[in-house]
Copies of this chain bind each other. A is one copy, B any other.
């Protein structure tokens, strides 16, 4: 807008002043400003297989029936549709763990994507200066949200099998030594095909992580684990299914489980959920009633119908094969063009391939690699954005990059890979 006189100052709260523009916004602006740019940065899902035709039928089934159609268009409850919560629990429950007999729909909160679950949870658990342990590197969007809430992030060492239990233990020991154990309120772990590295917590490590938590809870640790399983459904065909941390707890009181239909069905529905201790669910619902009264009822009914008809299962099967194919395509293009000049580890699912360049090369926003990539019209997420706190230059994350093969069609993906390879080859 244009105004003729000096504009009045908006009386922002200090909270608002802490809302810095995220580096990812800068990345996205780049994507819009550079015509023809191919993006391996955006974490979007495969555009070609979004189930538009199938959703026409689902929508007709929900809206075409007078009763269910009107109900879907009316207000719902803040916690979300009870039937959808029941169906969701039945779907997740497994004979592997007795925990499921302890969980009821009162422990399930439906949210606007799993992002909203993460945010609500942070708001009800964390105060200024409280500490959140996160994998290092971790999911930059949630880290930015946590920082805007004035919490302190502490990174825990990870490798290809996820967070290292002994590193978690050492980290808590160090915080205990500093007198900060009581300030640790949350341990945030992406257990499946982590954002950004694609690594998953192994079946062998899960119980050891929980044992570390138990040991420290006996020594006064109050923290809950937040298990972010947003990508769990995208397990590549043939990979063994690993039980979630959630199933390893003794009672429904240590691990909060966050899931999403954005990857298994469609992000445009904005539906995620949390399974949390009952007392916490009640508080989350109270806060959510202030935020928005509840997530869109129509989206919920569409997802419920997609679950009931089995449409979502066949879609998920398709997506597992599809993302495996896309991941292999990008992997092979980079391997063929760059050989050992890039270190790549094939993930077992999800949307991200994590690439690491040789020592001495930086991938950051100010780096030569990044500048060359922009010249070649290809975008990636620099590792430095995913670092916990300020990264030291010799941190291997600073020579790494998150490559998302989710969105582009195969030809564009291959072309993006070749462009990236040219950019890297020119500086190696």
A residues within 8 Å of B by Cβ? 1-5, 7-16, 19-22, 25, 42, 44-45, 47-48, 50-53, 55-56, 59-60, 63-66, 69-76, 102-104, 106-107, 111-113, 115-116, 119, 123-127, 130, 141, 144-145, 148, 185, 217, 222-224, 251-254, 262, 266-270, 277-280, 283, 286-287, 289-299, 301-302
Contact = CB atoms under 8 A, between A and B. Distances in A.
Contacts of A75: 42, 44-45, 262, 267-268
A31 to B, nearest CB: 12
A270 B77 CA distance: 12
Nearest to A144: B290
B268 A72 contact: yes
Instruction: List the 7 shortest-distance A-B pairs measured between CB atoms, nearest first.
Output: A52-B69, A268-B297, A73-B266, A16-B124, A270-B296, A145-B290, A59-B59
Contact of A283 (B19, B48, B253, B290): B19
A70 B56 contact: no
Contacts of A103: 1
Contact of A74 (B21, B44, B102): B44
B3 A251 contact: yes
18 contacts: A11-B223, A12-B124, A14-B127, A16-B123, A19-B286, A51-B73, A53-B63, A55-B59, A56-B64, A59-B60, A73-B268, A75-B268, A112-B295, A115-B291, A119-B292, A266-B298, A270-B297, A298-B299
Contacts of A59: 55-56, 59-60, 63
Contacts of A291: 112, 115-116, 119, 291
Contact of A15 (B123, B224, B266, B292): B123
B1 A104 contact: yes
A69 B47 contact: no
Identical copies in the complex = 2
Given A3-B102, A63-B56, A70-B50, A292 B270 contact: yes
Given A12-B125, A52-B73, 17 more contacts: A1-B278, A3-B251, A5-B251, A8-B217, A10-B125, A10-B277, A13-B125, A53-B66, A53-B69, A55-B69, A59-B63, A75-B262, A111-B292, A112-B296, A141-B293, A268-B296, A270-B297
Nearest to A301: B268
Contact of A127 (B15, B69, B217): B15
Nearest to A280: B10
Contact of A16 (B25, B102, B107, B287): B287
Nearest to A126: B13
Nearest to A117: B292
Contacts of A144: 290
Given A3-B102, A44-B75, A12 B52 contact: no
Contacts of A297: 267-268, 270
A112 B52 contact: no
Contacts of A55: 59, 63, 69, 73
Contact of A8 (B15, B115, B185, B253): B253
Contacts of A1: 102-104, 106-107, 252, 278
Contact of A124 (B19, B56, B294): B19
A22 B289 CA distance: 9
B7 A124 contact: no
Contacts of A104: 1
B298 A10 contact: no
Contacts of A296: 112, 268-270, 296, 299
